[in-house]
């Protein structure tokens, strides 16, 4: 008997459940869904109207946000359940897709409606490759590449919790083209900054929007190294960056005696001592890393040398790039000097290097001459030199014998 009553109760319950499912229906979905950007292009604004036929039901609206074009093929990035007919949220995406459906709050057995989809694209921007470098305490540079040739380009920036953005007062660029901004006077490293680039292109206003967590864009100059001998130890000291000393670690690269032994130190301090060997040459480099508070750091510093170079390692320690540059400079000078000396010697000894060919004799000329009148081709006559003989005249007195009397 018990089993009979139990079976009847189970059948009755199942019947009532199926009856409830059959009676329930789907809620009407919202209407007139529209998407737009906020005036500062930092947020998306979704608006819709109440669906007809609610008949006094209390409803809420489920808003799903996708970072792709419609229709979505992945799970939503964010979800909200709101009471109003509008919802606003911040985003950095260039393409968004939004779905809104009606969800019953107090409507009996009604179920959620089908989703209403709408897509939105960010308008063409003015710049791209927007990057920032925080290089010193309260000093930062932000640069970009120009997409549209807009001469009235302006940059505005500010933290997320500020309603108004501040204009850039120190631009970087050439002429009228602005390619960057120098920001200073505030500790930016703890902020998430929003950047808005305004301009006019083709007679229409254009905007580009960017967001940066400055703590992930730290780039400082390489530290400077100082090596000194204190007793029997080398004291190696690095110059720390100019802000937040607790956030940095320092990597030291050490090469000793020009061997394959390499030692790397990681230390929150920027100096340490090392036992000194007089027969070795020490090469030290340092790199600062912004590890505990964000990302970034410096490049490796230039190598600093300390100690004696063994004679067998003199050639090995030479800079091959510097030697190649020296060869490229000296070789043309040597070649030029050799050419000048060769030209001077050729000019001075040209009679020996290039002697004159003697003129052929008249007989040979006559043999080679095909003209009938050979008498006209006679060369110059030989005129001998006249010998000059000095003539001395002397007068003798008349003989007395010629005038004797008979």
**pTM: predicted TM-score of the whole model, two decimal places:** 0.52
What pLDDT score does 14 carry? 45
pLDDT at 263: 67
Q: So what's the pLDDT on residue 55?
A: 77
- For all residues of the chain together, what is the average pLDDT? 78
Kindly state the average pLDDT of the residues 338-352. Answer: 82
Q: Which DSSP state fits 343?
A: H
pLDDT at 361: 57
Q: What is the CA 136 to chain-centroid distance, rounded?
A: 19
- pLDDT of 366 > 60? The answer is no
User: Residue 257 half-sphere exposure, CB side, CA atoms within 13 Å?
Assistant: 8
Measured torsion, CA atoms of residues 211, 215, 216, 222, in degrees rounded to the nearest 10: 130
Task: With a cut of 80, say whether residue 44 has pLDDT above it.
Answer: yes
Rounded CA gap, 188 and 159, in Å? 9
The predicted pLDDT at position 406 comes to 43
Strongest mean pLDDT among 187-196, 201-210, 373-382: 187-196
Query: Structure tokens of 275?
Result: 């036992």
Q: Which residue has the higher pLDDT, 8 or 234?
A: 234
Tokens of 102: 């009606």
pLDDT at 380 > cutoff 90: no
Lowest mean pLDDT: which of 128-137, 260-269, 273-282? 260-269
Question: 5-20, pLDDT tens digit by residue?
Answer: 455 444 444 444 444 4
Q: Can you tell me the mean pLDDT for 290-308?
A: 88
> Does residue 132 contact residue 155 with C-beta atoms inside 8 Å?
no
357, with CB counted inside 10 A (0-12, 13-18, 19+), is exposed
Residue 141 to residue 172: CA distance in whole angstroms: 9
Q: What does R_g of the chain's alpha carbons equal in angstroms? A: 51
Instruction: Tell me how far apart the alpha carbons of residues 220 and 213 are, in angstroms, rounded to a whole number.
Output: 16
In tens, the pLDDT along 79-113 reads 999 999 999 998 878 889 999 999 888 887 888 88
Q: Is 315 helix (H, G, I), strand (E, B) or coil?
A: coil
Question: What are the structural domains, with CATH classification, of the chain?
Answer: 31-121 (2.60.40.10), 127-218 (2.60.40.10), 220-313 (2.60.40.10)
**Percentage, residues of the chain above pLDDT 90:** 20
pLDDT score for 27: 86
């Amino acid at each position: 008997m018990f089993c009979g009553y139990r079976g009847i109760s189970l059948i009755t319950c199942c019947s009532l459940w199926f009856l409830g499912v059959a009676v329930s229906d789907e809620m009407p979905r919202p209407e007139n869904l529209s998407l737009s950007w906020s005036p500062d292009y930092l947020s998306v604004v979704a608006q819709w109207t109440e669906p007809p036929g609610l008949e006094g039901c209390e409803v809420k609206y489920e808003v799903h946000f996708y970072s792709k074009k419609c229709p979505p093929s992945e799970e939503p990035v964010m979800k909200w359940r709101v009471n109003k007919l509008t919802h606003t949220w911040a985003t950095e995406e260039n393409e968004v897709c939004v779905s809104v459906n009606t969800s019953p709050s107090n409507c009996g057995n009604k179920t959620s409606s089908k989703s209403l989809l709408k897509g939105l694209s960010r308008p063409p921007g003015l710049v791209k490759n927007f990057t920032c470098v925080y290089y010193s305490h309260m000093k930062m540079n932000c640069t970009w590449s120009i997409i549209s040739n807009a001469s009235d380009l302006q940059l505005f920036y500010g933290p997320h919790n500020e309603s108004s953005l501040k204009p850039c007062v120190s631009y970087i660029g050439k002429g009228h083209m602005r390619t960057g901004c120098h920001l200073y006077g505030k500790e930016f490293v703890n902020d998430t900054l929003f950047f808005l680039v305004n301009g006019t292109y083709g007679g229409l206003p254009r905007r580009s929007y960017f967001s940066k967590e400055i703590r992930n864009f730290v780039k400082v100059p390489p530290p400077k190294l100082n090596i000194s001998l204190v007793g029997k130890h080398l004291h190696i000291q690095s110059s720390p960056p100019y802000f937040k000393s607790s956030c940095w670690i320092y990597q030291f690269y050490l090469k000793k005696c020009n061997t394959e032994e390499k030692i790397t130190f990681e230390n929150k301090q920027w100096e340490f001592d090392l036992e000194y060997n007089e027969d070795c040459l020490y090469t030290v480099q340092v790199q600062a890393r912004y590890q505990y508070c964000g990302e970034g750091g410096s490049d490796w510093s230039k190598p600093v040398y300390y100690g004696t170079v063994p004679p067998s390692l003199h050639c090995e320690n030479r800079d091959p790039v510097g030697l190649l540059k020296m060869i490229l400079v000296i070789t043309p000078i040597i070649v030029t000097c050799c050419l000048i000396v060769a030209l001077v010697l050729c000019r001075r000894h040209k009679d020996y290097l290039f002697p004159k060919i003697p003129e052929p004799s008249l007989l040979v000329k006559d043999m080679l001459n095909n003209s009938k009148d050979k008498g006209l081709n006679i060369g110059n006559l030989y005129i001998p030199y006249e010998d000059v003989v000095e003539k001395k005249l002397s007068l003798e007195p008349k003989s007395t014998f010629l005038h004797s009397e008979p």
